[in-house]
Each structure stands twice: as C-alpha cells, then as structure tokens.
A and B are shown apart, each in its own frame.
Chain A
Amino acid sequence: MPNPFSLLLPALVPSWNFFDVISASPRVEYALAETRDAALDAWTEFRPRPQRLSPVAMLGRLFWNPRWNESLYLVSCAERLVEEPTAHGEDEIFRRVAADLAARSDAPPWLSFRLLFIDPTGEREVLYQAAPRLRADIDVR
C-alpha cells in the first residue's frame, strides 16, 4: 500500500500541466460469458456517452455528476493499469462494471473487461485485458 504522504506531495507541489499533450484515450469495454474459458467476442462499451445532452442537463451536472466523475476515475484507473498493472486498478474497474450489471440477474455469470486505447490518428488498440471473474465473487456493496 503506498504511503499517503507520497500521494499527497504532487498536490502540495503541483505541476499544472493540464492537457499539455493529448495522448491516447482509454475506453473500458466488457464482455459476459457462460464459462470461464468461453471465447469473448461480444465487447460492449461501458457507459457510452449520450448522443445529446440538453443545456439544462449540463448545468444540472454542476451540482450532481456522480456517474460521470466515476467514469473519469475509471479513465485514471485504466491509464494507471496500462502503465503499471495492479490488483487495485483491476478491482476498481471490475467492481464498477459488476455493480452496473448487478440488476441483470439473467446475464451470464463470467465477466471480463478490456481497455481499448484510441490514439490521435484514430488508431484503436487493446492494451489490457483482464482475466474473467465470476460476477458473484465481485463485491459490489
């Protein structure tokens, strides 16, 4: 477990290099299967953005925006996972995908996710794929 003061330091001495370079951007995709060894070929984008958002909805999100902020957290997890794979990063993504699927009791029991990165030229590349986990084993409470 990292030292919390080492995590705090970049906040106390910030770099402020927002958007200095536009690098490849991750998308989380998931797939469900009946068995652990089944071929995963039907990947679904996790929480795709809406086609449109009204100005009222945009302003409303100033005050209440939990799902979007959670999606941005998953972007951070995805970037960290590709740079340095950790159980924490994988657990965080699994938990959130499984929580969204929890209401679908009829869905297949095995869950996997992959991280698809889109670079500035539009090229798409899968840089990470998690081994399938049983949905029932993922703590979504």
Chain B
Amino acid sequence: MSFDHALRLTEVLLALALAQQSLEHLRAFRRERILFGARIVLCGLVVAGVASPWSLVALAGLSLLILQRFRGPYNGGSDRLGLLALWCVMLARVLPVDQWRELAFGYLGVQLMLSYFISGWVKIVNPDWRKGVALRQVFAFSAYPVAENLRGWSGRPGLLLAMSWAVMLFELVFPLTMISQASLMVGLAIAATFHLANACLFGLNRFFWTWLAAYPAILWLQQRLF
C-alpha cells in the first residue's frame, strides 16, 4: 500500500467515523448541533476530496472547540484515538518535507500498535487480571454492560479467566504480527473482532469505527519498515 493510498484511505475512514459520531450529537443541545453540524460538513468535504488539506485543518481546529466544550474527550479512549488520527493525517497532508509527512503518519501506526501492547501490559502486571477477577468486576458492577442480563457473566469465572488471558496475550503479541503483511492482516482481523465484541457487550461503538479507520496507517508502516 503506497503512502498516498494509505493516507487517503485513513482520512476517508476517519471522516466517516467522525461523521457517524457527529450525527449522534445532532439530537442533543443547540450549541452541540452547531459544532457537530459543522463537523459533518467538513467530513463530507474530506470524503469528497474537496478543499484538501484545508478541510482537515479546519477539522483539527474544530476538534479544539469540541474539546473545550466538553472539558476533554466526550468518550474517553475512542475520542483520543480519533483526535490523534485526525492531527496525524492533517500533519501528513500539510508538512512541507516528505520525511516529516511520513513521520506524522508513521506515528499514528506506532501508536495503534502501542494501543494494543500497552493495554495488554498494564493488565498482565495486575494480579486481578491474571486471576480473571478484573473482568468479573467489569461485568458485575461497572457502568459498561449494555444490559442487566450480561451481569450474569460475572458468575462464570472459568469463561472470564479464559477471556482475560485471551485478551492479554493477544494484546501483548500484537507487535509481533508486524513481521509480515499477512500476519498483520490476521492480527487486525482478530483485533477488529475484539472491538466488535466490545461494541456489542459494552456499547463502545466509537472504538470499533475509530480503530478501523487507523488500520491503513499500520499496514503502510509495516511495509515501510519490513
């Protein structure tokens, strides 16, 4: 995948993900409708390839107003990766030197890889995760399960222990999938399935679309490095 192709694919997927989030805000309050209505228009320009790179610059500027409106990201980690991806693709479009542009886009790929590896590391050093207790607590009392009947999963310690180890090992091993394009594709397919499960069980739909949008960056980075 060429740099230009990967960058274009990332910005289109990201614009679609941001537009989907923005549509959800149109049912909210007046000031939010103005901010997110403007974001939908800018996302449309990015998808259509119109006014590049200024539509991306405007989206990055608007992201600061949205951050200020909510005093931080609206939805934690998913919005953080969305912001990171947006600023990386914007810089990859506007920086004047090819190496700098590659560095900005490559940084997104590196952070995507770290998002799995560090998440796995911080879990495996915690005894509660290694014993399956942490995941039991997530299902038992956290705010995330989308339905009450899912809390019943907390009474299945064997299943949750297996799920905990599957998640931790996958996240820790993920950087090794960058050895080849084929292994990375397999790794990303597993990761996407993991995000889909999180979207279904915990309602984290923004993670699914935002992480998928950044996949071309890591696919390009793999080819660039190996």
Contact = CB atoms under 8 A, between A and B. Distances in A.
Interface residues of B, number: 58
Interface residues of A, number: 57
A42 B98 CA distance: 63
B75 A95 contact: no
Listed residue (A1, A16, A59, A141) with the most chain B CB atoms within 10 angstroms of its CB: A16
Contact of A7 (B23, B25, B72, B205): B72
B70 interface: yes
Interface string B106-128: 00000100110011001100101
Interface string B62-92: 0111011011111111011101100100000
Contacts of B206: 69
Contacts of A17: 118-119, 122
Given A12-B83, A61-B146, A7 B67 contact: yes
Nearest to B114: A16
Interface in A1-51: 1-2, 4-5, 7-8, 10-12, 14-22, 25-27, 49-51
Interface stretch (B49-57, B133-141, B216-224): B133-141
Contact of A25 (B72, B75, B141, B196): B141
A61 B30 contact: no
B147 interface: yes
Nearest to A51: B148
A59 to B, nearest CB: 7
Given A19-B119, A76-B74, A141-B29, 13 more contacts: A8-B63, A11-B73, A16-B115, A22-B128, A22-B134, A25-B142, A49-B147, A68-B146, A72-B76, A88-B71, A92-B70, A122-B140, A139-B29
